[in-house]
């Protein structure tokens, strides 16, 4: 399937239809009849093993479904395009924070934050990197190596990296963003999300009930299935 990946424009809708992920013959990690994401902040909640991370991996194209569709803008089913095309999509349209803080250990913290740009030969937004690093209290760590950081500091670096790329992306995926994060940094993250990500498609997988209140919409998963969907008004 040939698609104009760079010419797709802004992604403003993602739809899952009959989407199933199985591991082996017996384990069904996700089974979504139909689910749609538009612009706004969507919080995905559920216990361990509910399928939250699997859902984010599917939406990003890092994982292909066993069956069903993941459709962007009613145009592209990313389950049908090549791994290279999915990588192009992430490069141009996605900013992703994974549960695990992954760095290239032999380069500086600054270079790790700038990596989503420099790896593709693009200039990194230096002022934005410095501004967000100041906001999250890691400005003094930029020239260190990742191995010199604590767990909480590494999480802040990962968050800054995702937020730096967010303005250049249509889709923001944050997987358990508050893990290893102190209360004040969580409050700062909430402010940044409310201020900068409302006009994006933003999916947040979290266990944090207080943090979940940030969402315009909430999706609850259990055993890979959607058990409820609600708006912020319905949650109150």
For residue 64, is pLDDT > 90? yes
Which of 233, 130, 136 is CA-nearest to residue 187?
136
Torsions phi, psi of 21, nearest 5? -125, 120
Give the residue-averaged pLDDT of 110-125: 94
Residue 55 CA to residue 138 CA, distance in Å, equals: 30
Mean pLDDT along residues 132-153? 97
- What letters, b where the CB count within 10 A reaches 16 and e where it falls short, cover 162-188? bbbbbeebbbbbbbbbbbbbeeebeeb
Helix (H) or strand (E) holding 229: strand 225-231
For residue 186, what are the β-bridge partners?
none
**3-class secondary structure, 221:** strand
Instruction: Decide: 28 and 21 in contact? Cβ < 8 Å.
Output: yes
pLDDT tens-place string over residues 20-63: 999 888 889 999 999 999 999 999 999 999 999 999 999 999 99
On the CB side of 115, CA atoms within 13 Å amount to 19
Tell me the pLDDT band of 2, cut-offs 50, 70 and 90: very low
Of 4-18, 46-60, 85-99, 100-114, which gets the smallest average pLDDT? 4-18
**Sequence spans of domains, the chain:** 12-235
d(CA 31, CA 51) in angstroms, rounded, equals 9
Query: Is residue 170 within 8 Å of 93, Cβ to Cβ?
Result: yes
* Largest Cα span, the chain: 50
Of the segments 2-6, 143-147, 211-215, which one has the largest average pLDDT value?
143-147
What integer best gives the mean pLDDT of the chain? 92
108 is written with which tokens?
Answer: 């500086």
Q: Where are the alpha helices (DSSP H) in the chain?
A: 52-60, 83-93, 109-118, 126-135, 151-165, 183-196, 209-212, 232-235
Provide the pLDDT for residue 210: 87
Measured between alpha carbons, how far is 82 from 10 in angstroms, rounded to an integer? 20
The mean pLDDT value for 63-89 works out to: 93
Its CATH architecture, for the domain 12-235, is 3-Layer(aba) Sandwich (3.40)
Instruction: For residues 153 and 74, give the distance between their C-alpha atoms in angstroms, rounded to a whole number.
Output: 40
């Amino acid at each position: 399937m040939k698609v104009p990946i760079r010419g797709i424009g802004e992604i403003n809708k993602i739809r899952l239809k009959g989407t199933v992920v199985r591991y082996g013959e017996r384990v069904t990690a996700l089974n979504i009849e139909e689910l749609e994401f538009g612009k706004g902040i969507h919080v995905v909640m559920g216990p361990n093993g509910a399928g939250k991370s699997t859902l984010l991996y599917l939406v990003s194209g890092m994982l292909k479904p066993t069956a069903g569709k993941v459709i962007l803008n009613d145009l592209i089913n990313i389950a049908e395009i090549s791994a290279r095309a999915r990588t192009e999509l992430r490069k141009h349209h996605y900013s992703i924070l994974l549960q695990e803080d992954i760095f290239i250990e032999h380069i500086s913290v600054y270079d790790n934050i700038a990596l989503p740009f420099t790896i593709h030969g693009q200039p990194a937004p230096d002022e934005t990197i410095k501004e967000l690093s100041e906001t999250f209290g890691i400005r003094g760590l930029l020239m260190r190596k990742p191995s010199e950081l604590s767990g909480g500091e590494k999480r802040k670096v990962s968050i800054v990296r995702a937020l730096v790329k967010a303005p250049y992306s249509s889709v923001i995926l944050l997987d358990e963003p508050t893990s290893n994060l102190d209360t004040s940094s969580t409050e700062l993250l909430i402010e940044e999300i409310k201020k900068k990500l409302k006009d994006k498609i933003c999916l947040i997988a979290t266990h944090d009930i207080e943090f979940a209140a940030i969402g315009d919409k909430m999706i609850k998963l259990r055993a890979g299935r959607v058990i409820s969907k609600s708006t912020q008004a319905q949650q109150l």
